[in-house]
């Protein structure tokens, strides 16, 4: 069933588990992730990002996502990840996503506050949850402003002035594939967790160790974004099948679904979310 992100994350906070958010814009990835959530009886969030809308547009993703959520026996959220453009995010809110991220993490602090407060007012009138990012988790992009750790002393002010429902924080992870293993600042996470009640979100989760995931869930992360691991698993499965067998898409598609399911399962098993649906 379709459930608002705020509700999903509040339950995760109360019962101390993590929820996987998977960007799944192909039918194989979406079906595979839903298979994994059903198998574990775990709440899950599926989504797409503004930068992925060229692969599958918003309306098409939503028609698939709403149907998958309606069929599911577990709580499902539909999330727009990394919205950068306000008209796109507002359209997502009006179209039926249950949560959106407005990423102003490269802007000055006061600009981030102002943008998120306005957007959160609009989203809440539509019953949609909002995620902001404080600090900055780097992208693999030469134009990126560079790494900025979240300052715990900013969190209370930011959350109370914006009214956001979830906060992505920067504690040592990075987007995409790591060149060297990341070192997580768990002390910083614990300090942030002490000063706010909103759901805390970890971006750049692909490539962390199993212990990293267990530790961040234990210390207060409620939502973990995963993209690279599942997308690479789906692509690799397609590649391997074609290399060894044939190009028949009706045989490639189920392998991509299965590989997506297995990649999602490997992550979800680390989040203590099994049986929480």
Catalytic site positions: 81
Q: Is 104 in the site for Zn ion (CB under 5 A)?
A: no
- Residue 203 or 257 with smaller CB distance to Zn ion: 203
Q: What is the CA radius of gyration of the chain?
A: 18
Subset of residues 186 to 245 that bind Zn ion, contact rule: CB under 5 A: 203
Q: Between 40 and 79, how does the x/- string for binding to Zn ion read (CB under 5 A)?
A: ----------------------------------------
- Residue 76 or 138 with smaller CB distance to Zn ion: 138
Q: Is 136 in the site for Zn ion (CB under 5 A)?
A: no
- Residue 146 or 275 with smaller CB distance to Zn ion: 146
Residue number closest to Zn ion, CB atom? 203
CA distances in angstroms from 111 to 103, 124, 162, 221, listed in the order given = 11, 20, 11, 25
CB burial of 167-190 (b: ≥16 within 10 Å; e: otherwise) equals: bbbbbbbbbeeeeeebebbbebbe
- Residue 88 or 242 with smaller CB distance to Zn ion: 88
Minimum gap (Å) between residue 137 Cβ and Zn ion: 6
Q: If we measure between CA atoms, which residue out of 137, 201, 168, 156 comes closest to residue 8?
A: 201
Integer Cα distance of 171 and 203 in angstroms: 10
Contact residues for Zn ion, defined by CB under 5 A: 203
């Amino acid at each position: 069933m379709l459930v608002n992100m705020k509700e999903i994350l509040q339950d995760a906070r109360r019962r101390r588990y993590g929820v996987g958010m998977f960007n799944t814009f192909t039918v194989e990835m979406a079906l595979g992730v839903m298979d994994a959530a059903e198998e574990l009886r775990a709440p899950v969030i599926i989504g797409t990002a503004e930068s992925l809308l060229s692969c599958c547009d918003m309306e098409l993703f939503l028609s698939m996502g709403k149907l998958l959520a309606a069929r599911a026996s577990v709580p499902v959220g539909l999330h727009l990840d990394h919205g950068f453009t306000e008209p796109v995010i507002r359209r997502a809110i009006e179209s039926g996503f249950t949560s959106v991220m407005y990423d102003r993490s490269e802007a000055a602090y006061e600009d981030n506050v102002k943008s998120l407060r306005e957007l959160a007012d609009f989203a809440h009138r539509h019953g949609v949850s909002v995620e902001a990012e404080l600090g900055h988790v780097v992208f693999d992009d030469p134009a990126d402003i560079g790494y900025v750790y979240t300052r715990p002393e900013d969190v209370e002010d930011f959350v109370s002035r914006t009214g956001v429902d979830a906060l992505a924080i920067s504690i040592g992870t990075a987007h995409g594939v790591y060149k060297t293993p990341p070192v997580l600042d768990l002390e910083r996470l614990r300090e942030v967790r002490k000063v706010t009640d909103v759901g805390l979100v970890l971006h750049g989760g692909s490539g962390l160790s199993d212990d990293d995931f267990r530790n961040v869930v234990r210390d207060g992360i409620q939502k973990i974004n995963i993209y690279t691991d599942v997308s690479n698993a789906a692509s690799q499965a397609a590649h391997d099948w074609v290399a060894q067998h044939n190009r028949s898409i009706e045989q490639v598609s189920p392998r991509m679904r299965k590989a997506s399911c297995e990649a999602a399962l490997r992550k979800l098993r680390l989040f203590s979310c099994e049986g929480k649906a």
